[in-house]
Structure formats: structure tokens, C-alpha cells
Structure 1
């Protein structure tokens, strides 16, 4: 089968299409003929080598979610799965492939009306947005700011905060056109990347969901209300300054707090329950799956160049 390996860290050209033996499902696994692969921000960080300290090495196959049809089952798996359209979490990688063998507990059937491309646009990002808001202890009636809202996690966080009763959903983004699209998804205020630019925006926020990180992250502590909470769910802009805790402590009298969130801390059953509900919501039209573009697997370098340029709104999907 065809697969994409990160042969050299750095530029997108280090992603190379190679031939590998097709996998065989082990006991408790299903084999999926992949029809769609989600391209996530974490894939870009892995490809750049920014996460090498976490054990990602050259030769790694990126991609954490796929969708397609089950073509074979391992021992102990009901043959009724054969032929079913499914979504699957492939772990920290292994999704940029034509065929994927995945443990059954990481697989969900697709409801009628949900395409494979929509499934890999929502599957991981929607769960991160859901549990990120929960980590921030968000409750209806609070003001929320989503920093870096144009990516797949941000798009879902905007929709979920609006759907769950936020009194305001502000976003930071890079252009008026993106701001308009985010308003269509539920945003009430559009800010520039510094968190300014809308005179009608709230003076402060109860919750900030931060997908960006980077050098500017500590400046957003100033935008938190007393008892406000910031949760970092990504660092697509790089790590924050090593001394950002000093800025946090300068706000001591406001009792603000900072936390991180990784889906790795949530049990599989809880993650799958949220994904199932969100898949059904997208199929009904209650949530939007924002697909930026669909590209063939052999254009993976182009997909990553688009990610690097910051032009992606929603999620790029690869099709083997």
C-alpha cells in the first residue's frame, strides 16, 4: 500500500510517498480501506521536528484519524463490521496510509449523511474543543474568547460555545473574510491577532480557549475577568515564553488560572461518546464540519505548505 513517511524533519518536502506492506488486522482490530485522512496541526509540529523530544523520529507516519470502510476483521471481531463506513483514531500517528489496522474500541460507525471527509474534520477536533471547554469549567452565560479560531479546533470551539449558551463568543483571526465566516458559525465579536480591534467586544472574558501558544500567549492573561480561566489546547504558534508564569502571577489579585488540555487524559469511552454525539449533530445539520480542501494523498506536501502559510480555514482532508 501507499503511505507517507516523514523522511526528514523540517520542510513539507520531507514528506515522501512510499510503498509499505499492507497491514493485517490483529485480534480485536479491523482493517479499514481509507477514504479520508484529517491533516491536523499536530501533524505539522511532528513534521517540523518540534515534538522530537516526545519520541517522534524521522520515518514516522503522521495522521491520527481516518475514515473509510472495513474490509477485514481480526479474531474476536464480529463480521457484521465488514463493509461498514467508519471513522477511526489511529493514535499519535499512522493515518497517512491507504489501509489502516485499528483496535475496535477506537472505531465508530458513521451515521447516514456523514461523509468520510466530514468525519475526519470533526472527529478529533470536536472532542478537543468539547473537553477543552469543560477543562475551563465553562458554563452558560459566560463570555468566551477563542484564540486562533480559524483552525479545525477553533471552528468547533466557536460552535460549541455558542451552542452551549455563551453570552459572547469572541475570536481572534487574521482577516475580515475569516471573521465573517466565523460569525456565520456563531462568533459574536471578531478581534485581530492581538485580541483587539472590536470596540463592542467585552472588556474581559471568563474563558479563553488558546490553540496558538507562542510568544504572545501571556498577553492574553490581561483579557481574563476576575476568576477567569485560560486553557491551552494547542501550540500551533510554538511554545510560550519560559517565564510566562511571571505574567500569570502578576494577575494574582484577579484569581485567574491557566491550564493545559490533552485528549490523552480522557478515557476512550468518554471520547467516543462525545464523537458519536457530534457526528450525529453534523449529520443533522446542527454542527458544521468545515472542510478547507480535499487533496490526494500524493499531494501531502502541498497540504502541509498550506498549513504552514496559515491559509487553512477548518481542515484539509487527504484522500488515498
Structure 2
């Protein structure tokens, strides 16, 4: 079968299409004929070596989510899964391939109106967006800022915050054109990357969801209202400055909260339930899968180039003939 390996840490050019033996499902696993694989920001970090300290090594196949049809099951798995269209989480790797194995615990059936491409566009991004908002106890009527809103997690955070009754959903993004597209998804105020450019935007926020991190993170933390909560779910702009703690101490009397979030801390049953609800909402037209582009598996390097150039609005999906 065809798969895309990280031959060595580096730029997009290190992604190599290879022929590998078809995997076989072990106990508790299923085999999926891949129809689409999601391309996320974490993939670019794994490929570059930025997350090598977390145990990712060269020679592995990228991709943590796929959608397709179950073709076989391992021991202990209900055979009725065979032939069903599903979304699945593959872990840190494995998804950029024509066939993948995944734990049956991660499977979420797809409604008829949700395509494989839609599923991998909504999947991990929707999981992070949903549980990040829950992590900071977002409530109806609160003011929300989404930093780095044009990516996969960002566009879904905007939609879920608006759907959840936010009084305001401000976003940071790189262009007026992207800002208009975010307004169509529920944003009420569009800011530039530094957080300016909108005179009518709220002066402070109850909730900030940050997908960027980096050197400018402290200036956004300072925008929290008293008892405000900030959660960092990504680090596409790099790690926050080492002395960030000074900002937190300076705002001690405002009872503000800073948190990080990873979907790895959410149980499989809770993730499945949240995704089933999200897919059902997409099937009803209440949530939109924002697909930037669909590329063949062999063009995974091009997908990564576009991700790192900041060209992607929503998500890219990989498919194969």
C-alpha cells in the first residue's frame, strides 16, 4: 500500500511516498480503507522534529485521523463494524496511508450527509475546540477571543462559541478577506494578528482560546477580564517566553486563570460522544466543515508547504485513487 513517511526531520521535502505492507488489525483494532486523512498543524511539528522530545522518531507515517470504510476487525471487536463508514483516531501516526489500523474505541460512525473529507476536517479540530471551551467553563453571554482563528481548530472554535451563545466572538487573523470569512462563521469582531484594528472590539474578554502561543502570548493574557480564563491549545507561533510568569503574578488580584489543553486528557467515550454530536450537527447544516483543499496522498509535502506558508483557511485533506 502507499503511505507517506517522515524519512528524516526537516522541511516538507522530507515527506516520502513509500510502499509498505498492508497492516493487520490486532486485538481491539479495526482495519480501515482510507478515503481521507486530515492534515493538521501537529503534523508539521512532528515532521520538523519540534516534538522529538515527545517520542516521535523519523521513519514513521504521519497523520492522526482518517475516515473510510472498515474492512476487517481484530479479535474482540464486533464484526458488525465491517462495511461501515467511520472516523477514527490513529494516534501520533499512521493516517497518511491507503490502509490504517485504529483502536475500535476511537471509531465514530458517519452520518450519510457527512463525507470522509468533512469528517477529517471536523474530527480532531472539533474535539479540541469543544473540550477547550469546556475546559475554561465557557458560558452563554460571555465574550470570547480566538487567537489564530483561520486554522482548523480556530474556525470550529468560532462556530461553537457563536452557537453556544457568546455575546461577542473576536478573532485574530492575517487579512480582511479571512476576517470576512470568519464573520460568516460567527465572528463579531475581526482583529489583526497583534490584536488591534477593530475600534469597536471588547476591551477585555471572559475567555481566550489561543492556538498560536509564541512571544506575544503575554499581551493577550493581559486582555482577560477579571475572573477571565485563557487556554492555549497550540503553539504554531512557538513556545511562550520563559518569563511569562511575571505577567501572571502582575494580574494576581484579578483572579485570572491560565491553562493548557490537550485532547489526550479526554476519555475515549467522551471524545466519541462529542464527535457524534458534532457530526450530527454538521449533517443538519448547523456546523460547517471548512475545507481549504483536497489533495492526493502523493502531494502531502505540498499540503505541508501551504500549512507553513499560512495559506490554509480551515483544513486540508488527503485522499487517494
TM-score, length-scaled by structure 2: 0.98
State the partner residue of 1:258. 258
Partner of 2:287: 287
Is residue 299 of structure 2 the alignment partner of residue 299 of structure 1?
yes
Query: 2:291 touches 2:317 (CA, 8 Å); kept in 1?
Result: yes
Corresponding position of 1:130: 130
What is the Cα deviation at residue 263 of structure 1? 0.4
Cα offset, 1:60, TM superposition: 2.0
Question: CA deviation digits over 1:76-118, x for unaligned, max 9?
Answer: 3233222111110001211111101112111111111100000
2:111–2:280 Cα contact (<8 Å) kept = yes
* SS of match in other structure, 1:63: coil
Q: Which residue of 1 aligns with 2:93?
A: 93
Query: Which residue of the partner structure matches residue 169 of structure 1?
Result: 169
User: 1:75 aligns to what SS in structure 2?
Assistant: coil
Alignment partners' CA distance in 2, 1:28 and 1:261:
28
- 1:136-155, aligned counterparts within 5 Å? 136-155=136-155
Residue in structure 2 matched with residue 14 of structure 1 by the alignment:
14
Corresponding residue for residue 197 of structure 2: 197
Q: Name stretches of at least 5 consecutive residues in structure 2 with no aligned partner.
A: none
**Of 15-24 and 71-80, the range deviating more from structure 2:** 71-80
Question: How many angstroms apart in 2 are the aligned matches of 1:217 and 1:203?
Answer: 16
TM (normalized to structure 1)? 0.98
Cα distance in 1 for residues equivalent to 2:4 and 2:218: 36
Aligned equivalents of 2:224 and 2:188: distance in 1? 17
1:22-68 Cα offsets, whole Å, 9 max, x none, are: 01112222110001000011001111110011111111211110001
1:253 deviates by 2.0
Q: Deviations over 1:178-237 (max 9, x none)?
A: 000000000000000011110111110000000001111111012111111100011111
Distance of 1:108 and 1:229 partners within structure 2: 31
Where do 4+ consecutive residues of structure 1 move more than 6 Å? none
1:197-216 aligned at under 5 Å gives the runs: 197-216=197-216
Alignment correspondent of 2:318:
318
| Aligned equivalents of 2:295, 2:314: Cα separation in 1 | 14
3-state DSSP of counterpart to 2:72: strand
Note the residue ranges of structure 1 that are not aligned, 5 or more in a row.
none
- SS of structure 2 residue aligned to 1:156: helix
Give the whole-Å Cα distance in 2 for the aligned partners of 1:216 and 1:17: 37
